[in-house]
Amino acid sequence: MNALIHWVRLILRAGTALSFLVLIASVTMQVAGRTMGGSPVWTEELTRFALLYLAGFGTGLSLLSGDLVNVDLVSESLPGRVPWLLRLISGLIVIGFGAVLIAPAWRFTQIGAMQTSPAMGVPMNFIHGSVLLLLATLTLAGVLRVLGMVTGVSDGKPEHLVGETE
């Protein structure tokens, strides 16, 4: 279980890093181009696409590590195993929503095959696929989190408290 979580986390980190690198490069080209006369038209579109993929990879990674916004002030102050149970139910709800939304996201991705992006000419199914990626990574992270809690590998709490680093 730990090895699977490690590899999923590694893949999500690589995707997040690559998306962020593309975003930085595209914005840098825009800024440099605007100060020197004009930026390429496609950089604005590429920036949007990089942001979509950054969200797609980063959301699953954040859920896996517990770094998404946690509103747990009340739930974590409850007695006994109630906080653990609420974290488990929360994970199951994430899995449920993700599972329900994956099929419509797949259809949305397929619709994109009939279109191309205006500036870059990229088939839009690659862009619409970012929604599918987000839901798939979120669902996978939810499954791994719940399995980790049920098997005792994890308690479902965030890995890092405020001020801590990895």
pLDDT tens string 33-82: 988 888 888 999 999 999 999 999 999 999 988 877 777 777 888 898 99
Q: How far apart are CA 106 and CA 108, in angstroms?
A: 5
**CA–CA distance, 5 with 142 (Å, rounded to integer):** 11
Q: Is 100 exposed, middle or buried (0-12, 13-18, 19+ CB in 10 A)?
A: exposed
Is 156 contained in some domain? no
Kindly state whether residue 103 falls inside one of the protein's structural domains: yes
Structurally, the chain folds into a number of domains equal to 1
31, part of any domain: yes
Render pLDDT for 107-161 as a digit per residue (tens, 0 to 9): 999 998 899 999 999 999 999 999 999 999 999 999 999 999 999 988 888 876 6
Instruction: Give the residue from 27, 30, 56, 25 showing the smallest Cα distance to 41.
Output: 30
Q: How is residue 40 annotated by DSSP? A: -
Asked whether residue 124 is domain-assigned, the answer is yes
121 three-class SS = coil
> Looking at the domain assignment, is residue 21 inside a domain?
yes
Residue 162 lies in a domain: no
**Which of the 8 DSSP states describes residue 166?**
-
Domain region containing 19: 2-151
